[in-house]
Each structure stands twice: as C-alpha cells, then as structure tokens.
Structure 1
Amino acid sequence: MGKNKEVYRLMLKNKNRFTPILILLTIGLFIAIMFYVRGSNNRTLHRNLYRQWKEDYVVEESDGKAWVKTAPRTSLSEGQGYGMLIAAMAGEKGWAKKEDFQRLYRFYLANRLTIDDQQTELMSWKQVDKKVYSTSATDGDLYIAESLIKAGKLWNEPKYLQQAKLLLADILRYDYNSATQTLTVGDWANKKSKYYYLMRTSDVLPTYFDDFHQLTGNSQWLTIKKVMLKKLYQLSKQHPSGLVPDFAWISKKGVRPAKANEVAGKNDGDYSGNACRVPLFLATSKDARAKKIVTKMLRFFSKQKQVTAGYQLNGKALNNYASPSISGPIFFAVQQLKKPEFDNLFVSQQYVFTNRLTDTNYYDAALITLVAMME
C-alpha cells in the first residue's frame, strides 16, 4: 500500500508529464471495453434476441405453416419477409432449423397474389384472419427473394433458389417502371396509377440486387441498382443532413421528396418509418455512392445530443424520444463502417440491445432482430 501511495504522489507531482500517458491508458481501456461489448453482443445477446422475437411474433399453425404477427390476427408480406430473412440468418448461426424456415415459406406460398386470373409469385401485402388483400408491396417481396437465396444456399435446397428466380421475374414484371428503370412500390403502382413514378427509398438494396443478378444472370438487376442508388444519392445531396425521405417522386427533372400526405401519411417526406431502413441496407454495400450516403447520415447523427424518432430533411427532430427502429440501423451502419469518428454513436445507440425486445411493436422488434442477425 505504501508503494502505491508513493507512486500516486509522484504522479501528482509530475502530472504534466503523466497526463499523456493517462490519456493513452484511458483511450486504450475504452477501446478494450468496446471490443468486449461487441464480442459479448455477438456471443450472447443476438441468440437471446432471436429467441424472444420468435416467441413473441412467430405464430405456428397446425397445418405446418407459420406467419409473423404484425398486429392481432394480422400479417404483412413485409413481416413475412423479415421473418424468413431472420430464420435463414439464424440458421446460418446454427440457431434455427430448416423446418423453421419451411413453415414461413409455406405461408408465403399460400398467400400469393392472383392478378388478372394469373397466379403470380408475389405475396399479398396483408392478411387479416382469412382475408387476403389483392395487391403487393415490393419491399416484402424483395426480402422474401433474398431469404430464399440465403436458405437455398444454406440448406442446399434447389426449390428455394428456383422459387427465388420465379419471384424475381414477377417483381420485374409487376413492380418495375421501364421509363425510370426503377422499382415501383407495388403491383398497384402501375402505368395507370399516379404512383408509377414513386420510389420508396428503403427499396434501394444494393447487396440484394447483386445477389439477384448472381442468381439469375439478369443484368437488369445491376441497372436497377445503379439507377436507384443514383436517385438516392441525389436526394442525399439536397440537404446538409444527408437524410432522405420515406418516399420520393422521380421525373425527367430529377427526384424530389414526397410532400406530407402525398402517399401514406404526414411523414412521407421525412426521414421516418421507411427511410430509417436505408442505413441498414446500404452499410453492407461496396458501392462508393452507398458509402457516401451512409457516411453523411452518420455524421449528422453523431452531432445530435440525442438521436430521436425521425427527422425532417433539414435536420429538425420530429419527436423528443428515441426509437429502436431508427437507432438499430444506425448502430449497424456504425459497426460496418468502423470509423472512430462514429464511436460516440456506438456508445449511444447500443441501448437497443440492452433491454428485452418489445412484444407490442412488431416493427421495432423485427428491425432489431434483423440487425442482430446481420452482425
């Protein structure tokens, strides 16, 4: 004890000399803690999140099907897509079996759309009890296609890969604008609809488009990737924040954010419930524009005292509280980019993994579980 006191006395006496050393030790300790936490998340938290999500949101039926509960007695193609992605990625980690995926797959097959008396591979966007809605949502079908590719490779199952090809062909047939070379938001946004030139920003999925091209050999997917990333980059450049809106309109003059209530609600032109997925799906891309978009967003978020639940594109917060569906994708993007300038976001946004998943908000739970599976 006497030696320790003497060392401490000498450090105080020569504090100017010791300060740089103390700073380096503090930084080193901080980095060590961060690596420990990251490793701990990968080892334990992610598996627990998957189990919680499955327990709370996956409904297994007696006929061998399973669906993701997005509301009481309600499922969405988006939710089924998340569920199939999560099951496939959990399978890659050894936490899910092929039958877990197969149950979700059967429900998708049982709820495909018929358009003009023609059976398609697109999934109905919504099912309530036994009622099946007669339109599709592109995001859900894109997630389902990617999950089929993952599952087909993981379990060496040709039927999943074949079904992915069929689904992708129908996405190009029913959810594609040939004039803009971009995906529409669903089969209902056709040439006869004013929504034909509408783009959902979170449908820009560059790594998925690469996978679709690799599976099908169709270079049209690379064109879609290039064009949609260009539109998203143009939106990112329109504001210092780098934020992009939930929806945007494409025209010969370029691309502009949707206005409030032009599509789905008052936040159509804000960084809100759809656009929050953009960092999640761009962060894994090697495309230079994708990296620039994500980096600019993270720089904005890193300067905020608190990352809140949505923003206007000028950077003004929409709310004064945090949201897991906003924070989760940001946390994932920070992990992927691995830039020291965003370490403050790693610290502030990791709260999404510290609590039990919500059992009352399907969207928050799905995105956090998806983030956990993707890490």
Structure 2
Amino acid sequence: MRVRINKTIGVALTLGLAATASFGNMVKVAQTTAAPGACGDWSGYRAFVERFVQADGRVIDYSTPTQQTTSEGQSYALFFALVANDRATFDRLLGWTRTNLAGNQFDAQNMRLPSWQWGRKADGSYGVLDPNSASDSDLWIAYDLLQAGRLWHEAGYTQLGEALAAQIARQEMTTLPGVGPMLLPGPQGFKNGGVTRLNPSYLPLPVLRALAHEMPNGPWGKLADSAYRLIRTTAPQGFAPDWAAWQNGQFVVDPKNGDTGSYDAIRVYLWAGLASPADPLAKPWLAALGGMRARVAQTGIPPEKVSATTGAASGEGPLSYWGALAPYFKALGDEHGLGLARTHLAALDAAVPGREPVYYDRVLGLFGTGFIDGRYRFDEAGRLVPSWRNACD
C-alpha cells in the first residue's frame, strides 16, 4: 500500500509542479544543487532526514498510530533544509506539502492554507485526516519560503511566502480589543461565544519580525507586541502554559486545557532563546519566562508538566525539552543550564540498540543543537543567518 501511494503522490507532484513555471524551474535547479561539503557536515540533520523524511518529501511521525504527517513537521523540516543549504530536500518537502496538504492549491495566485494532519485513515487508505490548518506551521512555512527566496536568490519562493502570509493574515488572525492583532491557532474552532482560545507557542518572535520586515504593511509588527503581552500575562510564575484564552477583555486560563505547560509550551522558551539580543522585546520576553531557569537550577531537570498559575510541577521532561531549552539557557548566559542541556542532548547522537529515535526529540534537538553550535542565528529583523551564508557564498 505504501509503495502504491507513493507512486500516486509522485504523479500528482509532477503534475502539480508543472502548474507554475517558476515552481518547476526551482525544482529543476534544485536537482543539480547539492549542499557544499566544505561547509561542514550536519550529522544530526542527515540522521533526521534518513529516519523521518520519505524520498517524496513526506515527514512521518512514526510514534502515532496513523503514521501521521503534520504541517508542523513539514514546516520544521523545510527550515532545517534551509539551514543545511539542502535545496533538493527543501523542494521535495515543499512539493509534498503543496500536493497533499494544500491540494495542489499552493501558488502565488491560488494559495490555500495547508491541512494540518495527513496519514492513515480507518479504512487503511492515506490522506488528509483533518482539513483545518495550524497557524504556527503556516507561519513557519511562510518564513521558510521568504528566507529561501532571499538566501537562494529565487523570487518564486518569495512570492509563495508572501501569498501564504497574506492568507494567514486573512484567515487566521483576530483583533483583541485593547491589545491588537492576535494569531488564532487555526481558522476554525477557536472562537466560541465570548471565548477565544490561543496557543502561546505559536508565536516565535524572530518569525514575526521577519514577516514585518518583508511586509511592513501587514499586522506582523503589532502582532509581536500582542504576543509579548500574551506571554507576559499568562506566565505569572515565569512558566508558559500550553494554551490560554481571551475572555471579557482579558487573558485567562484556557477553559478546555487549563493552565498546564508541557509539550506545547516548551517551545515558548525555545523561540525566546532564538531571538536576536538586539531585538527590543528579546530581553523582556526572556525575563517573563524566568521560572523555568530557576526550576532547572534548583532541581537539575525541566518539569514535564507545570502549572502556569501556581508553579506546581511534576515529572521530568524528555530530550525534546533540553533541545528547546538549550538556546534559552544560552540567551540567558546560564552556563550551568546550557551545560546540562549539552550533556543530555549528546544522547541524540548515541545509537542505543532497540531504542527508536523519537520525532519530537529529534526536531527540537535540531533547533537547539543547531543554534548553540552556531549553524544558524536570527538577526534583529528576524532574518535567518545560516553559517553557510558566509562560508560558502
């Protein structure tokens, strides 16, 4: 079944790419463009691609019963391919996303938000499991495309990124009175009566800055300010929650998921750590999240779950947490915390018989190790600065 499906995808991909000449030209160029070996091998990225990315560009989370692919996984893999200067993989990832998550409606003149979840259905066939989109993934894909257009000097990517960003602003944004523009987690299902549900981990400051830089007439600069207010207000003990809400003119505890901060919220610390120190919001954003640093200093581990309102914690976070926290510790100048993160993250490269690599560990591990090892950074305008830019251009 998998082979037959892949053949179908391949045919659809070929037809889809032919729909726009610029996209087709990008793929043709990519087939002859390899990452320069002189720039240094990124073994963690290679291991991730070999384990989790099919030849057709589909990222698979094997830990799920549906063998799911998410728009999040595609967006992160696109970012890593850009950091690795791996344009061939970037285009395969983009082509699969276009064909399967966006139904071949992913052109500058005809842009559809990608469905967030794809995988094995109850009848054994493969396809979209949930057509709703995920705004964080959409933001990252738009960012990836805009940066790819700039770094690889390809206007076709830029046009796609601008078109996607325009759809995000049109379909996945709302306005909170007295605060300003705010990102909804998706176009459907997050505004119910007087309650608007929000996800703090969906708002990476560097991504918002880059969109504001590229499209200054959009809502992105004001969204960065709104996002900071969300983070600061919903983390009274210095711990971010997975979810929050807006009700009666204020940020409140999410009525559905409560105030727990865990596998979603861990990314809030990651994005804060990645922000350029020159960004005027970087320092106060980090300061609003000081609870995690203090807790790790006290206990030596990040809690798996923590109450954002009381600070009560339980469990021990897995490797993915250390991946997310490594840039956070680095940005704070916390050498002890960074040393702990490095020690734990070394396990990502250690092959243990019988232990399968975990998708989320690998993904957040690549964000974290790639950053602290100097493979990439973001400048004040949110633009990606990969190490190959200077070494290999």
Q: Same fold (TM over 0.5)?
A: yes
Matched, 1:136 2:96: no
Contact residue 113 and residue 135 of structure 1 kept, 8 A: no
The 8 Å contact of residues 87 and 100 in structure 1, kept in 2 or not, is answered as yes
Q: Secondary structure at the match of 1:367?
A: helix
**How far apart, in 2, do the equivalents of 1:123 and 1:337 lie?**
35
Looking at structure 1, the residues matched to 266 and 348 of structure 2 have their Cα atoms a distance apart, in angstroms, of 21
Shift of residue 291 of structure 1?
Answer: 2.8
**Equivalent residues in 2 for 1:91-130, closer than 5 Å:** 91=85, 96=86, 98-113=87-102, 120-129=111-120, 130=126
The residue number in structure 1 matching 2:328 is 333
- Following superposition, the deviation at residue 290 of structure 1 comes to 1.2
Identity %: 21
Structure 1 residues 306 and 182 mapped into 2: Cα distance closer, same or farther (>3 Å)? same
Give the aligned length.
306
1:88 and 2:78 matched: no
Within 5 Å, give how 1:296-375 maps onto structure 2.
Answer: 296-313=291-308, 314-319=310-315, 321-338=316-333, 342-356=334-348, 359-375=356-372
Do 1:112 and 1:121's aligned partners in 2 also have CA atoms closer than 8 Å? Answer: no
- CA apart distance, 1:195: 8.9
Larger helix proportion of the pair: 1
Is residue 112–residue 120 contact of structure 1 (8 Å, CA) maintained in 2? no
Following TM superposition, by how much is the alpha carbon of 1:177 offset from its aligned partner in structure 2, in angstroms? Answer: 1.0
The CA deviation at 1:85 is 0.8
1:275 maps to which residue?
A: 265
Equivalent pair of 1:89/1:374 in contact (CA under 8 Å) = no
Deviations 1:201-250 (A, max 9, x none): 101211111100111222411111101111211122x22xx101000011
Residue 161 (str. 1) matches residue 161 (str. 2): no
- 1:30-80 C-alpha deviation (Å, 9 max, x unpaired): xxxxxxxxxxxxx98x8121111111111113xxxx011123642000111
TM-score under structure 1 length normalisation:
0.75
Structure-2-length-normalised TM-score? 0.72
Aligned to 1:201: 200
Post-superposition offset of 1:183: 0.4
Unpaired stretches in structure 2, ≥5 consecutive residues? 1-38, 104-108, 121-125, 350-354, 373-393
Distance 2:330 2:74 in 1: 26
Segments of structure 1 that go 5 or more residues without pairing to the other structure are 1-42
Cα RMSD after superposing both structures: 2.4
Aligned partners of 2:273 and 2:331 also within 8 Å: yes
Contact 1:189 1:196 in 2 (8 A): no
Distance 1:194 1:328, change over 3 A: farther
